[in-house]
Amino acid sequence: MFYYIILTGECNRHCKYCGGSFKEDIVPYTLQYSIDDLERFLLQDPDRTITFYGGEPLLNIPAMLEIMDRIPAKYYCIQTNGTLLDQIPVEYLQKFHTMLISIDGRREVTDYYRQINETSMYQTVIDKSKWARKNKFKGDLIARMTVSIRSNIYEEVTHLLMVKDQFDKQLFNHVHWQLDVLWGTEGILWSNTNSLKGIDWSVFDRWAENYNLGISRLAETWVQKMARDGVILGIAPFLKVMDDLLNDRATTIRCGSGRELFSINPHGFITACPIAHEKNFHVGDIWSVSPEEIKNSLLIGDPCTSCDVFKICGGRCLYANKTMFWGEQGFKRVCKTVKHFINVLQGIKPTVESLISKGVISKESFAYPTFNNGCEIIP
């Protein structure tokens, strides 16, 4: 199974679409359990993957290092804003299989959402990522974007795929993104209001139209690169969905939340999703349940399970499905972007199959990720 270990609810940034730290009474800033207790719980699962999460997990590096010392895992991963990346001791840096680094695309977009002083967050993240490469991090470095109202999906993704490290090699192995359709006052859905009544749906509809055009253009570029150079660009959402389409494989919720992925919060509570802290998402705690007992404990339901693309989508987001946070109208609007995304990939599938049959590319090259590495896949 897969475990997000939330090391702290505190964050050292105040991004426009997030706001920074959780309230400490909701997600404590220090661990309220002992590493002995965590070890006792996790060692019951012989096939565990650990992902460190926050807040900003690198604000609690001592706890992270102790967990890595004491609790072996099949894979260690981390999701971080990257600002403190160079504070990780090199011998631990090299133990990570995957690092998801928050960066939203081009400099002007990233800095608009993430910069809080004169220091460019874009440049900070690039520099710290290069530091990781210089210090022999050989794992999967993922540019993890938040796509919001100012984002141009085609421009942001293609830009990040072209960034080079100090050795003139591609800095980020893969690019992944999620749509900003939850809390932020600068978000696509919220349109500078925290009330559903105040949402200007025309703003979202115009944005979604441009986003969908960008997805179509991105997929066209993706398949052209395969045909011309035999290269499959590391666009994480495209890769896994295409892999399933090629193999006619149905999926469950792709992030695994509530089924095989769970979050251990600083107070020891276990939730079905790392962003869900409401009590109805609690499935136990590290003292009173076992990993086997919580498996498949919270499953996605309608309207996702009766949707015509459910076997490919798997249900975009457990949290959104259970809360219907933006109401039915907003939920359906976001769903339309997912359906367009899937339709586009279905449209290029024959070309991909032709390239495979000609030996230009291999079918196996689409099998990414090979384990649940934090890429939720469906944006």
In the predicted model, is pLDDT for residue 182 greater than 90? no
Which two structure tokens, joined as six digits, stand for 347?
């449209």
- Residue 187: band (very low, low, confident or very high) from pLDDT cuts 50, 70, 90: low
Q: What percent of the chain has pLDDT over 90?
A: 84
- Residue 228: band (very low, low, confident or very high) from pLDDT cuts 50, 70, 90: very high
- pLDDT at residue 58, as a whole number: 98
The torsion of the CA quartet 156, 159, 161, 162, rounded to 10 degrees, works out to 180
Q: What is the pTM of this model?
A: 0.95
- Summarize pLDDT for 130-172 with one digit per residue, the tens: 999 999 999 999 999 999 989 999 999 999 999 999 989 999 9
Q: Which helix (H) or strand (E) holds 246?
A: helix 236-246
- pLDDT at residue 280, as a whole number: 92
Number of helices (H) and strands (E) in the chain: give both, helices first: 12, 9
In the predicted model, is pLDDT for residue 122 greater than 60? yes
The mean per-residue pLDDT over the stretch 252-268 comes to 97
- pLDDT at residue 18, as a whole number: 80
- Summarize pLDDT for 74-91 with one digit per residue, the tens: 999 999 999 999 999 999
Distance CA 173, CA 154 (A): 17
- In the chain, the N- to C-terminal Cα span, in Å, equals 22
Only one residue has tokens 């090259």, namely 365
* Buried-exposed string 171-192: b where 16+ CB fall within 10 A, e elsewhere: bbbbbbbbbbbbebebbbbbbe
- pLDDT at residue 190, as a whole number: 57
The mean per-residue pLDDT over the stretch 341-366 comes to 98
Q: Report CA-CA distances (Å) from 205 to 53, 55, 331.
A: 32, 31, 13
The mean per-residue pLDDT over the stretch 336-364 comes to 98
* Buried-exposed string 151-163: b where 16+ CB fall within 10 A, e elsewhere: bbbbebbbbbbeb
Range in 1-5, 166-170, 322-326 the model is least confident about: 322-326
What are the structural domains, with CATH classification, of the chain? 2-359 (3.20.20.70)
- pLDDT at residue 261, as a whole number: 97
The 261-264 sheet, strands edge to edge: 174-179, 140-147, 98-102, 75-80, 49-53, 2-6, 261-264, 269-271, 282-285
- pLDDT at residue 130, as a whole number: 97
**CB 141 within 8 Å of CB 171:** yes
Which two structure tokens, joined as six digits, stand for 325?
């946070």
Which two structure tokens, joined as six digits, stand for 319?
């949290």
Full 3-state SS string of 273-315: CCCCCCHHHEEEECCCCCHHHHCCCCCCCCCCCCCCCHHHHCC
In the predicted model, is pLDDT for residue 196 greater than 70? no
In the predicted model, is pLDDT for residue 195 greater than 60? no
In Å, the largest CA–CA distance within the chain is: 58
- Residue 309: band (very low, low, confident or very high) from pLDDT cuts 50, 70, 90: very high
Only one residue has tokens 């840096």, namely 93
In the predicted model, is pLDDT for residue 114 greater than 80? yes
**CB 20 within 8 Å of CB 13:** yes
Burial of 251 (0-12, 13-18, 19+ CB in 10 A): middle
The torsion of the CA quartet 141, 106, 157, 132, rounded to 10 degrees, works out to -10
In the predicted model, is pLDDT for residue 327 greater than 90? no
* Closest CA relative to residue 323, chosen from 281, 285, 271: 281
**CB 63 within 8 Å of CB 5:** no
The mean per-residue pLDDT over the stretch 257-261 comes to 97
- pLDDT at residue 197, as a whole number: 59
**CB 199 within 8 Å of CB 190:** yes
Q: What percent of the chain has pLDDT over 70?
A: 95
